[in-house]
């Protein structure tokens, strides 16, 4: 999968999810997914700096 296909897939999933949720539910889900992404980025950064041999 290339970057264009990935972003198109993410957009399709977002559109499908948003059709089933209220504005309030979309807002909560978006906030949760942002926190998830930020936390995963923090973990990956920590591992690459402090534990370069860890996968």
**Number of folded domains that form the chain:** 1
pLDDT at 55: 64
Report yes or no on 38 lying in a domain: yes
**More reliable by pLDDT, 52 or 35:** 35
For residue 54, tell me if it sits in a domain. yes
- Quickly state the pLDDT bin for 52 (edges 50, 70, 90): confident
Domain assignment of residue 3, yes or no: no
Q: What is the mean pLDDT of residues 18-31?
A: 98
- Residue 13 in any domain: the answer is no
Q: Is residue 29 part of a domain?
A: yes
Q: How confident is the model at residue 46 (pLDDT cuts 50, 70, 90)?
A: very high
**Which positions ≥6 away from 29 have C-beta within 8 Å?**
17, 21
DSSP 20: T
pLDDT recorded at residue 24: 98
Domain hosting 42: range is 22-55
Assigned domain for 49 exists? yes
Q: Are 42 and 35 in contact (CB under 8 A)?
A: no
| Cα angle 40, 5, 15; round to 5 | 75
Helix, coil or strand: residue 22: coil
Q: Is 4 a domain residue? A: no
């Amino acid at each position: 999968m290339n970057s264009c296909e990935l972003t198109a897939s993410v957009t399709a999933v977002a559109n499908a999810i948003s059709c089933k949720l209220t504005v309030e539910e979309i807002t909560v889900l978006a906030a949760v997914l942002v926190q998830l992404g930020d936390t995963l980025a923090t973990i990956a950064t920590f591992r690459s700096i402090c534990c370069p041999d860890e996968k």
